[in-house]
Amino acid sequence: MYDKSDPRASLASAAAKAAPVFTAYSPADYVRFYENEPAVTKDGEKTWLMRGQNGVIAYSEVANGARFTRKGQVDEWVLLLPDADVTVTVEAGGQRKTIQGYTVTFVPPGDSTITVDKGGRVIRMFTTRSKDLADACSNASEYAAPHHNIPAFQAWPTPPDGFKIRSYTLDVPDEPGRFGRIWRCTTFMVNYLAPQVGPRDITKLSPHHHDDFEQYSLSVGGAFIHHLRWPWTPNMKMWRNDEHEYCGTPSVAVIPPPAIHTTRGMDPGVNQLVDIFTPPRIDFSQKPGWVLNAADYPMPE
């Protein structure tokens, strides 16, 4: 149920497949980093780790000279720098690049090193195939058993020109008919939504659901209330109470399928949300012009 001004309203008309029959639900997950001790604390670095069924988000506050190293990384991963004044140097896949802030960067599998030239916030995203990171997450116990209604992770096709460091500025103007600012790689889709100033209009919310993938809503500015409702089924044992969870910054809400959900920015200043999906979404990818780097990463056949 989208407001008619929301570009996602066109997705409903494109969906023709029959709705699945759900026999079990899994809970949502809300990780408020500001309420937890960091998983890693050392000179120049504080890192918090959380996970969903398929993805891990590492949120770090770092000083100049901090370093992040991955050895034998199993698949492509994401580096998000939400602040313009942060600068890092990325070494991976035989390349070495200086990356300015306010960017999203996709880093090849294998060995990589991130050196922080000017400190601030550094956000990294990995699939749960990186078991060392998944096991270190503050909410790892919530995923001791697989969550329901989510297929096994499958990466998207390798780019025709191979893996390389690919960086994109987040400074992209809005465009009529396009939803958000979306980039994808083989493992993730990142939608850096337009900033919302002041509380969201309660007459223009967007309750909707996903049949078979989870959504990570990462707050990097302001505060939000995540509203969730699970569809009723003939089996009352499956029913779950509605949720209205307040999450400040930094935090991540993991929204499971098929929970009906919408999120309202609450801060009087800037509210900045980033929606993350792993693997990428087919429906967004099928919309012409929505994925800003679609030419770099092919869709599955």
| pTM of structure | 0.95
15 pLDDT higher than 60: no
Q: pLDDT tens digits, residue range 123-164? A: 999 999 999 999 999 999 999 999 999 999 999 999 999 999
Average pLDDT rounded to a whole number, residues 92-115:
98
Position 220 scores a pLDDT of 98
Cβ–Cβ < 8 Å for 207, 263: no
Q: Say how far apart CA 92 and CA 190 lie, in whole Å.
A: 21
Query: Where in the chain are the domains?
Result: 9-296
Q: pLDDT tens digits, residue range 187-220? A: 999 999 999 999 999 999 999 999 999 999 999 9
Share of the chain above pLDDT 90, in %: 93
What are the DSSP calls for 146-169, one per residue? Answer: PPTT-PPP-PPPPPTT----EEEE
Question: Which is higher by pLDDT, 118 or 2?
Answer: 118
Position 213 scores a pLDDT of 97
Cβ–Cβ < 8 Å for 282, 211: no
Share of the chain above pLDDT 70, in %: 97
Spell 224-234 as b/e; 16+ CB within 10 A means b: bbbbbbbeeee
Token pair belonging to 123: 């956000």
Position 10 scores a pLDDT of 78
The Cα-based distances of 202 to 205, 207, 220, 229, 264 in angstroms read 6, 11, 22, 17, 8
Question: Does the domain at residues 9-296 carry the CATH identifier 2.60.120.10?
Answer: yes
17 pLDDT higher than 80: no
Residue 4's pLDDT band (cuts 50, 70, 90)? confident
Position 16 scores a pLDDT of 52
19 pLDDT higher than 60: yes
Q: pLDDT tens digits, residue range 232-291? A: 999 999 999 999 999 999 999 999 999 999 999 999 999 999 999 999 999 999 999 999
9 pLDDT higher than 90: no
Position 25 scores a pLDDT of 98
53 pLDDT higher than 70: yes
Position 6 scores a pLDDT of 85
